[in-house]
Structure 1
Amino acid sequence: MLLPKYVKRVRAKGRTYYYFDTGKVADGKKVYARLPDLRSREFGGSYAALLGHRNRGHSTELVRTPRLIDLYQRSPAYRGLSDASKKLYDIYLRKLEKLLPTAPVAEITRADMRKLFDGMAEKAGAANGFLSTSSALFAWAVAREYMPANPCDGIDQLPGGEHEPWPQHILDAALSADDGTVRLLTHLLLYTGQRLGDVLAMAWSDISGDHITVRQRKTGKVLVIRMHKDLRAELDKRKRAGVVICTDENGRAIRDQSARYRLQKFAADLGQKVVPHGLRKNAVIALLEADCSIAETAAISGQTLRMVEHYAKARNQQKLGDSAILRWEAKA
């Protein structure tokens, strides 16, 4: 079989592999990029990207993983992250640098990243964080033509590495709790779909008419969210004892650790382990199940469309199925 230009075939251990001659040289040797199987759907796209990259005649200087990370951390994309996000990214970027200290980034393949990712499977949360951070780095690199494709594309995150939505009976109990602080926190987290830190920072002055303005610390986004009627009713019960909305019985601002403790203790007393961030997923699921579009849902949560689609996987299958059949029946 005649191979496409710059492609060579290698047989090893009874299997056939295909490599693309990138036109680059490292340590006096040609640099080859691994290609998908010749008969696979992915081959054409990967080959076209590598060919285009070679034909543009870029410098033969190779960028290795540590250098790419350094360039990324000097970029506006990285500098625009919140301090908390930078701290988290740095952990995983150092991990990537340690695992691939000499790898030319143009040679890193999906198989390479899958192998690293699978090696972290015992700690799903850390593995998923590593994958997300690496993907962000490589997406930035692809846009600047340091590499032909993002090797993290097509690798699914591990289950169990993210926060689960609150069970409905726990959510209902918290929304009607005698503990006013638990009730307030639950209403704000659920009906704004925001992170705990952003909720605790909300001030009474952020409310204007039927809307509340949210300034997300992680993304820097400013969202103007229409308040759900149940949230407005709950806020109407509160005495405006301070600048921020979330204050304790003595009028002092509630801190992150205290808020987490009260919410988790409330759920634990009912036999359930939860985290406040789970309510963010409850909010996204509720919006989607109310027939809101992904774009409409993202306008509330401030998430990317891709993240909303990811959260959408947790929707109740039976509820969606019932809705689908009822619509079908109504149309018939």
Structure 2
Amino acid sequence: MSCTNATLSPKGGPRLPGKPGDPEFDAAYNAAHSTKKAPASGTLQSILNGFQESTDWHDLADRTQSDYIKLIKVIEQKFGTFPLSALADQRTKGVFLAWRDERALKSRRQADYGWQVLARIISWAKDRGLVVANPCEKGGRTYRTTRNEFVWSDADEAAFLASADEHLHLPLILALWTGQRQGDLLRLAWMQYDGHYIRLKQGKTKINVTIPVGAPLKAMLDPLRQKSGNVLVNSYGDPWTSDGFRSSWGKACRAAGIFNVTFNDLRGTAVTRLALAGCTEAEIATITGHTLREVRSILDSNYLKRDVALAESAIRKLEARTKSPN
């Protein structure tokens, strides 16, 4: 059955002239499709799109972009047609908070993350004069717990090394002796290690760090050293995918009887161990890439307050300073 003129139309749009393949049909379809996709001027959708075309967006790590896209889609469905002129209205914050609180009934973390993404995009627009107010600037959090207090103990480390497959040993030691994020370590290439230092640019912060390689880590790296390729590979010798690594790591932890800490907790553990070794906050930040404030927050939250070795050291110092009675 042939198609006649003016019988086809894009879903929800006007009828189009001609048949598919005809110049007039193609031109009309492209025009209709473009009109349908273009965000209405002055709506939240316009700055959601603009942010994703900006240098701020391209500076984000691939994983962060992926996470943002999922939340931007949620925001589009809920607030895509929301007028930018209404952002200055005092009632708008209440509207956005109600959306966040509704999402918090399912997941407080995701509710806070969605709020964070919305706040960042509106902040980007405000800095460029596209909006006059950001009602999400001070929304607070619904999820308050951090993992700063979760650190790997010496017993956890020993149990993992005794139980896990050998190709998972290096990720553990590498994380403990560098304090870097999982994504940066999975991307680490042999060319970034010169036998003395590891040099990398952190994917999340874009900070360049130069890390002197400690003897235990060097003893593991040098026998495996190659001219090219990734430092961390799976049992087949292939670079890890993020999902593949998380799955294998989780299984190895469960097999070792380790349930209360994750790979991400190794970063805070590295900070803690450096502090216990007598390193200053500035020295720690130089290695891990944290800010001084972040280092202090980690140390203030974790078990340094309860570590018996520190308490013993403090009393010994006090004893040495106190004059013995005659």
TM-score range, shorter chain: 0.5 to 0.7
Quick one: distance in 2 between partners of 1:308 and 1:149?
30
Quick one: distance in 1 between partners of 2:277 and 2:96?
38
Quick one: distance in 1 between partners of 2:148 and 2:193?
29
What's the TM-score once normalised by structure 1's chain length? 0.64
1:259-288, Cα deviation, whole Å (9 max, x unpaired):
333322221023333542232232344445
Q: Which residue of 1 aligns with 2:100?
A: 117
Q: Which residue of 2 aligns with 1:85?
A: 64
Residues 188 and 143 of structure 1: is their aligned pair in 2 closer, same or farther, counting only changes over 3 Å? Answer: same
- Please show how residues 11-22 of structure 1 align to structure 2 within 5 Å: none
Q: Does 1:158 align with 2:131?
A: no
Residues 80 and 248 of structure 1: is their aligned pair in 2 closer, same or farther, counting only changes over 3 Å? Answer: closer
Aligned with 1:147: secondary structure?
Answer: coil
From 275, 281, 295, the counterpart of 2:268: 281
Residue 232 of structure 1 deviates from its aligned partner by: 1.8
Q: Which residue of 1 aligns with 2:14?
A: none
- Do 2:108 and 2:143's aligned partners in 1 also have CA atoms closer than 8 Å? yes
Residue 142 of structure 1 deviates from its aligned partner by: 4.1
The structure whose residues are more often strand, as a share, is 1
From 130, 134, 141, the counterpart of 2:114: 130
Residue 186 of structure 1 deviates from its aligned partner by: 0.3
- Do 1:65 and 1:105's aligned partners in 2 also have CA atoms closer than 8 Å? no
User: Unaligned 5+ residue runs, structure 2?
Assistant: 1-40
- Please show how residues 1-332 of structure 1 align to structure 2 within 5 Å: 64-100=43-79, 101-103=81-83, 104-107=86-89, 111-121=94-104, 122-145=106-129, 146-148=131-133, 151-153=136-138, 155-156=140-141, 158-159=143-144, 165-168=150-153, 169-175=155-161, 179-238=165-224, 240=226, 243-248=229-234, 251-273=237-259, 274-287=261-274, 296-303=283-290, 311-312=298-299, 314-316=301-303, 317-319=305-307, 322=311, 326=315, 329=318
Aligned residues: 271
Greater mean deviation of Cα atoms: 77-86 or 171-180: 171-180
Residue 95 of structure 1 deviates from its aligned partner by: 2.5
1:238-271, Cα deviation, whole Å (9 max, x unpaired):
4659632223555444444443333222210233
Aligned with 1:232: secondary structure?
Answer: helix
- Do 2:176 and 2:267's aligned partners in 1 also have CA atoms closer than 8 Å? yes
If you compute each CA radius of gyration, which structure gives the higher value, 1 or 2?
2
* Larger RCO, structures 1/2 (Cα 8 Å, 6+ apart): 2
User: Unaligned 5+ residue runs, structure 1?
Assistant: 1-61
1:115-137, Cα deviation, whole Å (9 max, x unpaired):
43332223133123213323322
Residue 212 of structure 1 deviates from its aligned partner by: 0.4
User: What residue identity is the alignment partner of 2:140?
Assistant: I
Aligned with 1:208: secondary structure?
Answer: coil
Q: Which residue of 2 aligns with 1:58?
A: none
- Identity over aligned residues, as a percent? 23
